[in-house]
Amino acid sequence: MKSKKKFAMMMMDAQYDTKRDYAVFETEEVETHMITVNSPEQAVQMAKELAEQGFGAIEVCGAFGEELARKMYEATGNKVSVGYIVCPPDQKELSDRFWQA
């Protein structure tokens, strides 16, 4: 039997309860895990753990930035793609205003 692909979407905020603020959505072919972390260091450690658990891709929110996404990728032994989500340049001011309020 073919195993399911495992994908994680990670969000970071110091106020998350990482044990409680977690969700899993499953289809016949994919497990999607919504994961929260409290710090960049925890994100890097979590990326390593996800690689060990057989995850194939991680997406992170734009607050992580390219440098942290790269550190996470390296923590997986360069075996799990780590993408980060950003808004289009013409929406940056609007996004910044929302997140700074």
**What is the token pair recorded at 49?**
């753990």
Residue 67: burial class (beta carbons within 10 Å; 0-12, 13-18, 19+): exposed
Q: How confident is the model at residue 82 (pLDDT cuts 50, 70, 90)?
A: very high
CB 47 within 8 A of CB 77: no
Instruction: Note the pLDDT tens digit of each residue in 3-19.
Output: 899 999 999 999 999 99
> Is the per-residue pLDDT at 68 higher than 80?
yes
For the entire predicted model, the pTM comes to 0.87
| Total number of domains constituting the chain | 1
Mean pLDDT, the chain, rounded, equals 93
- Domain that includes residue 77, residue range: 5-100
- Please give the distance of CA 9 from its chain centroid, rounded to a whole number: 4
CB 46 within 8 A of CB 35: yes
> Is the per-residue pLDDT at 1 higher than 80?
no
The DSSP secondary-structure symbol of 3 reads P
Q: What local confidence, expressed as pLDDT, does residue 98 receive? A: 85
> Is the per-residue pLDDT at 20 higher than 80?
yes
Question: Looking at residue 90, which CATH number applies to its domain?
Answer: 3.40.50.2300
